[in-house]
Each structure stands twice: as C-alpha cells, then as structure tokens.
Amino acid sequence: MTATPLAGRVALVTGGGNGIGAAVARRLSAAGAAVVVVDRDGAAARSVAADVGGTAVRADLAAPDGTRTAFARAEAVHGRLDLVHLNAGMLSGTPDLTELDEARYRAVTGVNIDAVVFGVRAAIPALRRAGGGAVLVTSSIAGLTGFDLDPVYAMTKHAVVGLVRALAPTLAGQGIRISAICPDFVDTGFLGPHRHLVTGGPVLTVDAVAEAALGELAGGESGRLLVLRAGGEPTPYVFAPA
C-alpha cells in the first residue's frame, strides 16, 4: 500500500499525554502533522501539545461525551481530521477476578473498549469529510495471547482486535484504513504499582513503538495486527482459519 504523506495532515492521539501516545504525538509533529493531544491528564496533554505546537484536549474517554468533545474540538480548531490513534488504556491490575471491584472494571472497559468503539464511531464521519484517512488502535500482545497476569485487560485488548478485524473490510470501501499495534511490554509509566507483573526480559522503547505506529498511520495495510517485541522486527499477526 502506498504511504500517505503525514505533512499537512491533522492527527488526534488519545492517551497522548504520556508514554506511547506522547511519543507518537512528537513523531507525527516532526513529520509535519498537526496533532491534537487528548488525555484525562490535562496537564500532561497541555505539556505535550505545547512541545509539538498542537492542541490539548482534557477528556475522560471512558464516557462517550469525552470522545465527542475531543473529536469536535479537533475539527473545530484544525478544520479537518485525517489520522486517529486510539491509544489510551489502563490495566485492571490484578490476576485475581475476586479482587476486581466494579469501579475498576468499568474504568478499564470504559477506556480500553468503549473509548475505542466511540472513537471509531466519531472518526468515521470525520475521516470521510477529509476524503479518507487512517485509524490505529493500540491493542497489546495481551490482545492475542492468554495474558494470565491480567485477564480483564487481556479481554479488553482481544475485544479491540476483533473490532479492527471486523471493521476493516467495510471501512476500506470508505477510504478509511484501520489497523492495530500489539506491543509486548513497553518502557512507560503504564505498569505503575503493577510493575511487579513484569517477570523480566527486555522491554520495548516508546520510540520503537511510535516508529511502528507512524508506519501504520502513513500506510499500513487495513485490518493488520502488528506485533511489536523488543529486539524484533514488527510482524503482522495472522490468525489460523477458523
């Protein structure tokens, strides 16, 4: 597939205040795109947006209103939207379902699943208005494997893999590509107090993940699930026929 030049494009990155999202926002800006940085952490979003000369939007994406606000703001400020990286996410933080309280469950499914569904729903008309574009979802290696350290997180990341696979053919007919990155552990603050869940071994840098993300946004094959591992080349994951 031919790569779309990123210069002059308008991109929206969720969870753009920290970690992978912040690295993607910086790379997009360096490639000449205007970037809308969306995060519930308003100070972090403002800081990254200031660095890249972009627009910050503070929004809790676990609620549909958060997504609506972010997309409306992007088009209001920049007049169009071409690229969307639905990247915000969190862990449930426990391997033990009996320890999972309902508030945490709603928060995790709210950002890891609902925000992706509502984000794609908001992206489709916006990208159509721009004449086409690309949506990238941050899933995880836990979206392809049985990640016993956090089964609810694994469930949410499997869910968005299914959404990407199912939507790709339909969206292709509308000039919209959708794909997902599935990284192994990445060196961000994501794990926080749950860092003990990492059992050792190399971790990806945010730059390696951001480089792969830009490749997908610029010209990834629709429906692709790109596995990212420390020290390895990005590799498309292929399901066995059912």
Catalytic residues: 153
> Can you tell me which of 12, 21, 34, 224 binds ligand NAD, judged by CB under 6 A?
21
Q: Does 185 engage in binding with ligand NAD (CB under 6 A)?
A: yes
> Can you tell me which of 39, 82, 150, 216 binds ligand NAD, judged by CB under 6 A?
39
Residue 72 phi/psi, 5-degree rounding, is: -60, -40
Q: Nearest approach, Cβ of 27 to ligand NAD (angstroms)?
A: 14
- DSSP-derived secondary structure for 9-52: -EEEEETTTSHHHHHHHHHHHHTT-EEEEEES-HHHHHHHHHHH
DSSP 92: -
Report the distance separating Cα 133 and Cα 107, nearest Å: 29
Task: Judge contact between 22 and 14, C-beta under 8 A.
Answer: no
> Can you tell me which of 10, 11, 12, 17 binds ligand NAD, judged by CB under 6 A?
17
Q: Does 41 engage in binding with ligand NAD (CB under 6 A)?
A: yes
> Can you tell me which of 9, 11, 13, 19 binds ligand NAD, judged by CB under 6 A?
19
Q: Does 138 engage in binding with ligand NAD (CB under 6 A)?
A: yes
Specify burial of residue 231 (Cβ count, 10 A radius: 0-12, 13-18, 19+).
exposed
Q: Output 89 or 133, the one with its CB closest to ligand NAD.
A: 89
Q: Which stretch binds ligand NAD (CB under 6 A): 27-35, 37-45, 72-80, 229-237?
A: 37-45
Q: Output 138 or 222, the one with its CB closest to ligand NAD.
A: 138
Report the distance separating Cα 186 and Cα 198, nearest Å: 10
**Three-state DSSP state, 235:** strand
Token pair recorded at residue 124? 């489709």
Q: Nearest approach, Cβ of 132 to ligand NAD (angstroms)?
A: 25
Q: Binding to ligand NAD (CB under 6 A): which residues in 44-103? A: 44, 60-62, 87-90
Report the distance separating Cα 119 and Cα 85, nearest Å: 9
Binding residues for ligand NAD, per CB under 6 A? 15, 17-21, 39-41, 44, 60-62, 87-90, 111, 138, 140, 183, 185-186, 188-190
